[in-house]
Structure 1
């Protein structure tokens, strides 16, 4: 009887630990979601520019097209039952949202480019165009982590803007990757690939725009 009680206590402790662990991963995943990390990335970039009303105006245009429009489309798909969750756990359900994001990114780039927006915002829009096209091609065959890609982009921008003070942003990348793996939404290789491509694409595009 005592042995049974001990086993029950051990099992209860294990279940509680797993539940706490999973809850932590869930909230990290929510806070580190692509819409939020993308917004943080843009905000960091804008803060590095000379303060002006037009800069914030262009940032608003970018966020409206690249963040809000795809997000509203996801909410609509979820409401209609076309996707199982807002984070697109099922790979096959990612194609349509990615197509919308590609269209939104190119529209944003065109408006910012021909509207003479700050060069940094134009470069960020170009990076989003390239990233979404590459991720769309990959997604047709393999599930890559959008969370890790966006977090890495945010970390890169933080490094360019605040230098060594960006350590917190850099540490957020493996933490968010862990959360996605813990929730069984991705494998470690999928989060690594996402982070590598996300950070690498942003660095490459900023270099091509002669901003670094």
Structure 2
């Protein structure tokens, strides 16, 4: 791969990480649904869906439970999943228990549903979490802010391209990830919103 192309692929892959989507999306939806106080709820949600999972993945990487923060090997993902899921489940329960804004709790619950679907598949096959979260985020944004959010579709496609170009996933794994993110995330969010 040409050096410039590799640089862009890494930038898109790192920028399109699932945690980054949640760091932006949770406070944004919190603001939309709960005003300025909703931003705090969004930050609280991001703590359990982005910050703590990142710390868990870094801890596992340092302890050599898996190879890197992207947890590229399918078998390693099964090992990493319980810690990440525990964080998201705890956050979800706290958001519901503390009566957080509906769009924030719906977002986190939709993320949890997508993660569970991905985990089931991961027992048999590797699928792109980057693509699942990006397409799920686009579906949620479209649901909340309207169809003009489809202008972000090329970004979702570019994130998928980066994962393929970096040889982290096949085209099929990226496509299935994107389909799951939208097909699971959007209805769960819409139902709970």
Q: Root-mean-square deviation (CA), in Å?
A: 1.6
1:20–1:52 Cα change, 3 Å: closer
- How far apart, in 2, do the equivalents of 1:148 and 1:36 lie? 13
Superimposed CA distance per residue, residues 124-167 of structure 1 (whole angstroms, 9 cap, x where no aligned partner): 12112212211111111110101001111221222233334424
**TM-score, normalised with respect to structure 2:** 0.92
Asked whether the equivalents of residues 99 and 136 of structure 1 are also in contact (C-alpha less than 8 Å), the reply is: no
Deviations 1:13-47 (A, max 9, x none): xxxx6222122111110111111022222233223
Look up the match of 2:47.
64
Question: Are 1:18 and 2:2 counterparts?
Answer: yes
User: What is the count of residue pairs matched by the alignment?
Assistant: 193
Match of 1:44 in 2: 28
2:85 aligned with 1:102: yes
Matched residues in 2 for 1:118 and 1:47: separation?
9
Alignment CA distance shift 1:119-1:162 (3 Å): closer
Which position in structure 2 is the counterpart of 1:35? 19
Question: What corresponds to 1:4 in structure 2?
Answer: none
Q: Distance in 1 between matches of 2:147 and 2:57?
A: 36
Instruction: Verify the 8 A CA contact 1:41 1:153 in the aligned structure 2.
Output: no
TM-score by length of 1: 0.84
- Asked if the contact 1:155/1:166 (under 8 Å) is kept, the reply is yes
Distance 1:45 1:138, change over 3 A: same
> CA–CA distance in 2 between the matches of 1:44 and 1:152?
17
Aligned to 1:76: 59
Instruction: Give the conservation status (yes or no) of the 8 Å contact 1:158–1:169.
Output: no
| Alpha-carbon distance in structure 1 between the residues aligned to 2:81 and 2:100 | 25
Query: Bigger radius of gyration, 1 or 2?
Result: 1
Give the superposition deviation at 1:178: 0.4
1:151-205 Cα distance to aligned partner (Å, 9 max, x none)? 1122122223333442442211111000000011001111111111111222111
Structure 1, unpaired ranges of 5+: 1-16
Cα contact 1:45–1:157 (8 A) shared by 2: no
Looking at structure 1, the residues matched to 151 and 10 of structure 2 have their Cα atoms a distance apart, in angstroms, of: 19
What residue in structure 1 maps to residue 172 of structure 2? 189
Distance 1:84-1:98 versus aligned 2 partners, 3 A rule: same
